[in-house]
Amino acid sequence: MTLVIIDYGIGNTKSVQFAFKRIGKEAVLSSNPREIEQADRVIFPGVGEASSAIKALKKKKLDKVIPQLKQPVLGICLGMQLLCNTTQENKTKGLGVFNVDIKRFSKKVKAPQIGWNTITNLKSNLFKGINSNSFMYFVHSYYALDCMEAIANTYYEYNFASALQKDNFYGVQFHPEKSSLVGEQILKNFLTL
């Protein structure tokens, strides 16, 4: 099985690649549309700012490629947010895979949320063998509103959608690659979806 991590110059590709290596799976970094289309599994990572990330995707014409993918795709953190309709971060239009918008936490809470928080209402095979209230590592100032496509929720100011799924597309707001053994289990699950 081939696993490709989309490399568009934004984010934590190395950490994700290392996490898969720890669970015994070699991942290839690529920005080549053909290579991405032909992979059995695709990871769409990202940390940083949304509008520059979309620009970087467009430059490599990946904004057209990603929404058309047919194999299981996992967006992580900003990767998940870019798969949504829009994000408040510099009023950026996303790729529109998930029918939900991304908002910023209000001044009532500290932003970014940094640290370990629980995931509940787990609704997908992505979380097979994972208990509700397991801890995952989060670092973010923007979040997805709770919606029909939510497959996990986390409470910080709101009970927001901390994971999303639509057809073959999955997205997680937290960092499974940095979330200890539970995070590694989620990555293993992704490989067997």
Partner 1 sequence: MLTKRIIPCLDIKNGRTVKGVNFRNLIDAGDPVELAKHYAKHGADELVFLDISATLEGRNTTLEMVLKVAEQVNIPFTVGGGVSSIENVNCLLKSGADKIAINSSAIKNPCLINVLSEKFGSQCITVAIDAKRINKKWTVFMAGGTIPTSLNLFDWAKEVEQRGAGEILFTSMNNDGIKTGFANVALAKLTKVINIPIIASGGAGTVQHFIDAFKIGKSDAALAASVFHFKDISISELKKELKKNQIPVRL
Q: How far is CA 2 from the centre of its chain?
A: 19
Shortest distance, position 175 Cβ to partner 1, whole Å: 7
Marked catalytic residue, from 77, 84, 140, 149: 77
* DSSP for residue 9: S
Contacting residue, 51, 99, 131, 180, with partner 1 by CB under 8 A: 180
**Closest CB to partner 1 among 81 and 165?**
81
Task: Count interface residues toward partner 1 (CB under 8 A).
Answer: 36
Helix 13-22 crosses helix 180-191 at what angle (to 10 degrees)?
80
Is 77 among the catalytic positions?
yes
The interface mask with partner 1, positions 6-25, x = CB under 8 A, is: ------x-xx--xx-xx---
CB-CB contact of 84 with 142 (8 Å)? no
Check residue 11 and report its DSSP letter: S
Cβ count near 192 (within 10 Å): 11
Closest CB 155 distance from partner 1, rounded Å: 6
Question: Nearer to partner 1 by C-beta: 29 or 145?
Answer: 29
Q: Which is nearer to partner 1, 96 or 115 (CB)?
A: 115
Q: 54: closest CA among 86, 29, 17?
A: 86
How many angstroms separate the CA atoms of 130 and 40, rounded? 24
Nearer to partner 1, 7 or 149 (CB): 7
Q: Which helix (H) or strand (E) holds 114?
A: strand 113-119
Instruction: Determine the 3-state secondary structure of 164 from DSSP.
Output: strand
Interface pick for partner 1 out of 61, 64, 116, 123 (rule CB under 8 A):
116
- Among positions 129-168, residues that touch partner 1 (CB under 8 A) are 135, 137-141, 155-156
Distance CA 4, CA 38 (A): 9
Active-site residue list: 77, 175, 177
Note the residues at the interface with partner 1 (CB under 8 A).
Answer: 12, 14-15, 18-19, 21-22, 47-49, 107, 110-118, 135, 137-141, 155-156, 175, 177-181, 183-184
